[in-house]
Amino acid sequence: MKKFLYLIIIILVVLVLALVLVSRKAEAPSAPLESVSSNSTSTSSAFLPNPRNMSFLVDGEEVVLKDGKSVEKVSAARATEIVTEVVGEPVFGDIGAGDGSSIMYLVQQGGGTGVFVYVVATYNVNGVHKGTEAFFLGDRVVPKDIKIVDGVAEVNYLGRKSGAAMSDEPTVPMKKRLVIGGGELREE
């Protein structure tokens, strides 16, 4: 019973955090490209499309974000929806695909208990910005921060020890180093 209660509390905290972060975001039609680390070579002040209003592939399905959120009805009979939301702010810089890249966290939940956390990126192909396939981090993990260093996105989050129950609180610091290649995020 305690594990179930902890699970509910964790889910509620993640949802409240996501809602607070999304509600604080003042929407702009575009976001400025800025240097995100001392090792970044991007210094352009050009404006990029807002990644909170683009489409990405999540588990092979297209998700179209509007103001950082997508709500898709799965079953009208059950009133089931899949909700996909941006958590935090996009980070802009060069992620191995030339200037004009951005990267951010997405959280997706549907009718079950899962709260699936992904990372998505945008990249520039001949002046056209595209979204990548989502890179899955885990179920009910806690996003921390993303940094771009020397063309590599360092994605930090809290996960669980191997074999731990999903009801266990994510406390293990984890890091993925990602680059864009062939239109998708992949580990370096």
Res 99 pLDDT > 80: no
Q: Considering only residues 66 and 39, tell me which one the structure prediction assigns the higher pLDDT.
A: 66
Q: How far apart are alpha carbons 70 and 40 in whole angstroms?
A: 32
The pLDDT value given to residue 39: 32
**Amino acid 97: pLDDT:** 62
pLDDT band with cut points at 50, 70 and 90 for residue 28: very low
Query: What is the sign of the dihedral through the CA atoms of 18, 19, 20 and 25?
Result: positive
Domain, as residue range, for 68: 2-187
Residue partners of 175: CB distance under 8 A and separation at least 6: 154, 155, 156, 157
pLDDT at 37: 30
What secondary structure, in 3-state letters, does 92-134 show?
EECCCCCCCEEEEEEEEECCCCCEEEEEEEEEEECCEEEECEC
Query: What's the structural domain count of the chain?
Result: 1
- The C-alpha atoms of residue 11 and residue 14 are separated, in whole angstroms, by 5
**For residue range 41-98, what is the model confidence (pLDDT) as tens digits?**
343 435 667 999 999 999 999 999 999 999 998 776 766 899 999 999 999 988 876 6
| pTM of the entire predicted model | 0.72
Q: What does the pLDDT read at residue 147?
A: 95
Mean pLDDT of the 104-111 span:
91
Report which DSSP code applies to 14. Answer: H
pLDDT digit string, tens, across residues 110-168: 877 889 999 999 988 887 888 999 999 999 999 999 999 998 999 999 999 999 998 89
57 by DSSP, 3-state: which?
A: strand
Higher pLDDT among residues 9 and 61, named by residue: 61
Higher pLDDT, 50 or 8: 50
Is the alpha carbon torsion for 18, 53, 120, 84 positive or negative?
positive
